[in-house]
């Protein structure tokens, strides 16, 4: 709701006033103040009449009859205790009090229009501040472009991005401490709404000079005895369990020599010959040198990228992001199956 007291201070800085009557006639006090809706309508009538200085033209602009306009102006004059116009056979002339009131009236109408437009934009999701989590893997598959397009299409929606692991995003969303998130998980998280964006699979990340780097595909069993760089289980339980389970199907447990908190760290360490890794296929699209990304020929566990949010939490501006996310999902669904990434040899 508009705050008359605050808005009217624009007309006379430094001293709050109760209404326009006090602004131009400080000793006048109406017995019952007019409603805000009535004041705004009457003020529009007043401003329009000052612009036309003709009841016929002003009433035509306002789509009301001349008698209705005349009655509205008379009511405004009675409410404020001043005469705003002189009327005679020659026409209409604004009084000195009317001139003094005109600036305040225009300020109030301007702020009223701005407030109405702001509230409508807020309700329509074209304005607001949202906090969105993301994991790097999802950024590589279109999430960054989604946010960029949303910011271009809805410049009044302030999007604050936080890099957080997928499981931590789910925790924050359930606790109402995050508005939305781009996650990659084996399955949709319970208790949250989601839009599926893409599927990703794991590939072997090998040093460029590794004995298997030139292979078109390898069996996971061929990595038995290798030193692995992996994410720790407490950092990402689902990834750890999937990869250890994959190795178990070949009869071995990965010999981990380096634990990393990021997939890109694994690739960097592998490029320096400090082990091998199993990373999402999308990571291979970054163009790293010194490594080879080789498909695995076993049936692999897949992970899905999701856009997730808590339906209980209301976040003005989130609907704007929904539009771009749905476009990404529709675009991904229309594309053919992805090929394995090209190997990136040392340069």
Q: Which of 300, 270, 311, 274 is nearest to 288 (CA)?
A: 270
CATH number of the domain to which 97 belongs:
1.10.10.10
> How far apart (Å, rounded) are the C-alpha atoms in residues 214 and 216?
7
Pairing of strands 85-88, 277-280: unpaired
**Does 133 share its domain with 233?**
yes
Higher pLDDT, 335 or 149: 149
- Sign for the pseudo-dihedral over CA of 21, 27, 29, 30: negative
**Does 134 share its domain with 203?**
yes
**Does 108 share its domain with 139?**
no
pLDDT in tens, 122-146: 555 555 678 899 987 787 777 888 8
Pairing of strands 255-259, 227-230: parallel
Do the Cβ atoms of 260 and 165 come closer than 8 Å?
Answer: no
**Does 265 share its domain with 211?**
yes
**Does 311 share its domain with 176?**
yes
Of 124, 153, 174, the position where a domain reaches its end is: 124
Domain span at residue 240 reads 129-347
pTM over 0.75: no
Query: Given this model, what pLDDT does residue 344 score?
Result: 45
**Does 98 share its domain with 174?**
no
Say how many domains are in the chain.
2
**Does 200 share its domain with 97?**
no
**Does 165 share its domain with 103?**
no
Residue 270 pLDDT more than 80? yes
pLDDT in tens, 161-199: 899 888 899 999 999 899 999 998 888 999 999 999 888
Q: What are phi and psi of 223, to 5 degrees?
A: -95, 5
**Does 237 share its domain with 311?**
yes
Of 80, 97, 124, the position where a domain reaches its end is: 124
**Does 119 share its domain with 135?**
no
CATH number of the domain to which 179 belongs:
3.40.190.290
Residue 61 pLDDT more than 80? yes
**Does 70 share its domain with 141?**
no
pLDDT in tens, 23-36: 444 434 444 454 54
Of 99, 124, 149, the position where a domain reaches its end is: 124
What is the CB-side half-sphere exposure of residue 153 using CA atoms within 13 A?
15
Task: Tell me the mean pLDDT in the region 43-65.
Answer: 88
> How far apart (Å, rounded) are the C-alpha atoms in residues 222 and 45?
84
Do the Cβ atoms of 117 and 24 come closer than 8 Å?
Answer: no
Query: Given this model, what pLDDT does residue 297 score?
Result: 84
Task: Tell me the mean pLDDT in the region 269-278.
Answer: 94
**Does 118 share its domain with 151?**
no
Query: Given this model, what pLDDT does residue 194 score?
Result: 93
């Amino acid at each position: 709701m508009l705050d008359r007291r605050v808005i009217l201070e624009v007309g006379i800085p430094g001293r709050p006033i109760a209404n326009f009557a006090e602004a131009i006639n400080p000793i006048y006090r109406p017995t019952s103040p007019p409603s805000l809706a009535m004041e705004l309508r009457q003020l529009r009538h007043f401003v329009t009449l000052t612009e036309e200085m003709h009841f016929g033209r002003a009433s035509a602009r306002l789509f009301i009859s001349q008698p209705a306009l005349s009655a509205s102006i008379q009511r405004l004059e009675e409410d404020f205790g001043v005469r705003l116009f002189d009327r005679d056979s020659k026409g209409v002339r604004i009084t000195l009090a009317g001139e003094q009131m005109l600036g305040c009236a225009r300020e109030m109408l301007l702020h009223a229009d701005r407030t109405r437009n702001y509230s409508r934009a807020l309700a329509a999701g074209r304005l607001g501040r949202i906090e969105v989590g993301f994991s790097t893997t999802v950024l590589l598959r279109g999430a960054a472009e989604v946010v960029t397009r949303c910011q271009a299409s809805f410049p009044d929606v302030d999007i604050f991005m936080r890099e957080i692991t997928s499981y931590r995003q789910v925790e924050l969303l359930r606790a109402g401490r995050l508005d939305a998130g781009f996650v990659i998980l084996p399955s949709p998280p319970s208790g949250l709404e989601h839009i599926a964006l893409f599927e990703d699979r794991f590939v072997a990340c090998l040093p460029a000079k590794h004995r298997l780097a030139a292979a078109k595909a390898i069996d996971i069993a061929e990595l038995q005895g290798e030193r692995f760089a992996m994410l720790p289980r407490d950092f990402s339980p689902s990834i750890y369990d999937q990869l250890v389970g994959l190795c178990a199907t070949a009869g071995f447990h990965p010999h981990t020599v380096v634990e990393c908190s990021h997939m890109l760290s694994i690739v960097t360490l592998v490029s320096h010959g400090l082990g091998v890794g199993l990373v999402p296929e999308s990571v291979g699209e970054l163009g790293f040198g010194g490594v080879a990304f080789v498909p695995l020929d076993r049936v692999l566990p897949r992970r899905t990228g999701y856009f997730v949010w808590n339906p209980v939490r209301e976040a003005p501006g989130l609907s704007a992001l929904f539009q771009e996310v749905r476009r990404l999902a529709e675009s991904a669904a229309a594309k053919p199956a992805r090929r394995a990434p090209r190997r990136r040899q040392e340069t």
